[in-house]
Structure 1
Amino acid sequence: MSAAAASTKERVVLAYSGGLDTSVMVKWLQLERDLDVIAICANVGQDAEDLEWVKQKALDMDAIYSDAVDLRKPYASRILKKAVQANALYENTYPLLSALSRPMIAKYLVDYAHKHGARYIAHGCTGKGNDQVRFETCIHALDPEIEIIAPVREWDLLTREQEMAWASEHNVPVPTTAAKPYSIDDNLWGRAIECGVLEDPWNEPPADIWTMTVDPKDAPDEPEYLTIGFERGVPVSVNGERMKYLPLIIKVNEICGKHGFGRIDMVENRLVGIKSHECYECPASLALIRVHQALEQLCLDRDTQHFKHQIDQRWATLVYDGLWFSQLKEALDAFVESTQEFVTGEVRAKLYKGSLTVVGRRSDYAIYDYGLATYSEGDTFDRASSHGFIELHSLQSKTWSRKQGPGARRAAEGHDFEQF
């Protein structure tokens, strides 16, 4: 009989990354809460594709079960597909790389809790960050009966330095050092970097935080053109080569990173009410969203494009706030999906020294009509129709002005007046 089967202790499924917080947490849950720990590491595209070392590290710290589950393909096909279709940028800047991975990880944590009969799920999210909200909201949406343990909100290890000292005292191996105390979260959609010198928003981000993108000044001196093909709003090809979505994201990360494109330095409004200085490195996500927006400009009519921009912003905020599993999010998914029926075509972009510029777009479903748009030979637009359109469009303005607005006031006062 295995140790796991023989134990009579209650069990907790821990969202485990192998980093500072969750490494300390494996031992803390055993010592302070007297629980058997089931450590689950989700591979959503971290730097190291082989996460067996993370699995073994938890077992070496006496976890009764550990697993490193590869979620890269479903993460790309089920979640990152929707992120591009919705042009998901929180505060029109951040492509939601951390927020997007949490719903899928939460689902698997709940699945493992059911499988192993665990009453609890634990996470290592900071007590002042967004991820605690995301994980717990998603978990509660999937199974309201599971209880959450958030040690970071309970223990007296209030600084990263104190955590590292506790880890040393209890022989817990951790990758973080006092000399480089960044908190890093990375997956297919990019890297999030915070803490350390970045906590002062006046400080320029140190060069050593960037790993996916070269310094733009060291990027190639010649531009490179990148063509992305789409079908129904989903990227399907790179430079004419058809690819599945997972390798396509990896390929675009490589191409854009080589040219120094994809760095973000922003002050972000966290859900919990704190402003935070965040750095992100998102070559593929920013590139794919930008070129997708360019294709939508070609294929969506004016009203749909304008309204979808509002929906995209609301979609991004819902996901940022941890409401992936919610009624409104599902309704917005349906709207976004319906708009993508004819978003099929190609977009060409030029990469150069940290920049990406869209320089071409084409689609068999383009609403753009050359004959209507051109001022040269071949112009098919009937200019005479503009007079009647303007008369009708301005009718309410004219009527308002005569009765209540500038026209009425001018007639009453008998002179011009300042309007602005």
Structure 2
Amino acid sequence: MNKIYKKNTIVLAYSGGLDTSAIIPWLQETYNFNIVAFVADIGQSRKDLYDIEKKAINSGAYACHIEDLRNTFVENFVFPMLSIGAMYEGKYLLGTAISRPLIAQAQIQFAKKIHSIGVCHGATGKGNDQVRFEMAYATLAPDLKILAPWREWKFRSREDLLNYLKEKKIFTTVNSKKIYSKDENVFHISTEGGVLENTWNSSNKHCWSWTQSPQKAPDVPERIVLHLYKGRVVKINDETFSPYKCLKKLNKIGAKHAVGRIDIVENRLIGLKSRGCYETPGGTIIFYALRALEELILDHDSYTWKHIVALKMSTVIYNGQWFTPLRDALQNSSKVFSDLITGKVLIELYKGTINVLKKQSPNTLYISEYSTFGKDSVYNQKDAHGFIQLFSLSSRLRALSHNFKK
């Protein structure tokens, strides 16, 4: 972009949605700042990006900058997270959370490039994203001003924002009947609000955007073979893909078979609970494939420790602590194990289910000659006696001590 940027410029993380569309005119009339809309392309719908620059300018932005981060997002954020095995509260693959550090990092880099005085986000004062964005801002650019309109303005609901945009004659695709909050990238799409705010309401067709319902999914299962190298999928059915194209391909396959849907009530960082319908079809398939190979390759202590690291990493990512020494330490610790995860997995997809049918690895610790229930010549069962004697020694001594005290 060849624009000459004015003084008192604020860079807004802009999606073109309801909140950020309202933020542009509000910032101008409240602070008289020049607003530059920063759009991170992380694989969201092309429909959302269509005419987004025109939309930002019509909302009052001085300029709009779009940055293609799709490959970086998958290669440096999504795939490393999947190889670690991070999953928040046993269900959520962190599709929104993992995107925030990259968006904030790119936003900060652009803000510094144009000598902006500050940055702004559209996260509400009730959610996690305000923490995630501002943790990154504080780490990467502690000198920049941070603006969070949801914590300042008089508006209290999305309905208020709709009325405000109507007054300003600014177009939005959101309406009062379908007032869901959606967040989308190439890894996942989330839907919150609307009927989901009552936990006794079932989700409806408006709560699901990518995936077929299990009832409408094909009646014939589909089988695919995933080839993995050092914790990353490199081939699907013998065809090589880049990380981004691999995820896109698996999204399409998984969505057709209703794979990767969850309806979850989660614990937000600030203490509130929230409900959302999340769809992560390709990521869920990869998650299953990785865990299948881990069963073959990792010994008990390694397997246990890797899952401890994964559990901690899930909260680190969820809480927006990506740019911290703790995240570096956890990721480096897990990489020792991830580098062993090489092999191939045959997976069957059917009406929302994923079944691992076959798996093999050059690094496997499963050796049939040792594990067989039949006759073998490599394992002496008498050796188990000495092992059990030593393994149970402390229990035996405790029992003896108890008897002595009597």
Q: Shorter-chain-normalised TM-score: which range?
A: over 0.9
> How does 1:1-400 map onto structure 2 within 5 Å?
5=5, 7-8=6-7, 10-48=8-46, 51-378=49-376, 380-400=378-398
Whether the aligned pair in 2 keeps the contact of 1:373 and 1:379 (CA below 8 Å) is no
- Scaled by the length of structure 1, the TM-score of the pair is 0.94
Maintained 8 Å contact 2:58/2:170: no
Distance 2:227 2:254 in 1: 16
Is this contact kept in 2: 1:88–1:289, CA < 8 A? no
Q: Does structure 2 conserve the Cα–Cα contact (< 8 Å) formed by 1:182 and 1:196? A: yes
Look up the equivalent residue of 1:312 and give its one-letter code.
Answer: A
How far apart are residue 378 of structure 1 and its match?
Answer: 4.0
Output one character per residue of 1:217-268: Cα deviation in whole Å (capped at 9) or x when no partner. Answer: 1111111112111100011111121111111000100111101111101110
- The corresponding residue for 1:416 is none
Q: Which amino acid aligns with 2:225?
A: T
Alignment check: 8 A CA contact 1:4 1:65 kept: no
Asked whether the 8 Å contact 1:259–1:354 carries over to 2, the reply is: yes
TM superposition shift of 1:42: 0.5
Gaps of 5+ in 1: 413-420
The residue identity in structure 2 corresponding to 1:330 is D
Per the TM alignment, residue 60 of structure 1 is displaced from its structure 2 partner at its CA by 2.1
The one-letter code of the counterpart of 1:332 is L
CA offset digits 1:304-331 (Å, max 9, x no partner): 1111100001011101000000011001
Asked if 1:403 corresponds to 2:406, the answer is no
Q: Distance in 1 between matches of 2:103 and 2:33?
A: 21
- The CA deviation at 1:381 is 2.3
Q: Which runs of 5+ in 2 are unaligned?
A: none
Could you give the per-residue CA deviations for residues 59-85 of structure 1, whole angstroms, max 9, x where no partner exists? 222312201211100101111121111
Question: Which protein shows a greater Rg?
Answer: 1
Distance 1:259 1:81 in 2: 22
Q: Secondary structure at the match of 1:401?
A: helix
SS state at 1:218 partner: coil
Q: What's the Cα RMSD here?
A: 1.5
Tell me how far apart the structure 2 counterparts of residues 49 and 41 of structure 1 sit (CA, whole Å).
Answer: 14
Contact 2:265 2:276 in 1 (8 A): yes
Which TM-score applies when normalising by structure 2? 0.97
Offset of residue 208 of structure 1: 2.2
> Matches of 1:125 and 1:286 in 2, distance apart?
27
- Any conservation in 2 of the 1:51–1:68 contact (CA below 8 Å)? no
Q: For the structure 1 residues 354 and 408, does the alpha-carbon distance in structure 2 shift closer, same or farther, using more than 3 Å as the test?
A: farther
Q: Note the C-alpha offset of 1:408.
A: 5.8
Cα pair 2:104 2:136 within 8 Å, conserved? yes
- Once residues 346 and 58 of structure 2 are traced to their aligned partners in structure 1, the CA distance between those partners, rounded to angstroms, is 50
**Cα deviation, residue 341, structure 1:** 2.1
| 1:215 to partner: Cα distance | 0.9
Q: Name the SS for the 2:215 alignment partner.
A: helix
CA distance in 2, matches of 1:336, 1:180: 42
Letter in 2 for 1:348: L
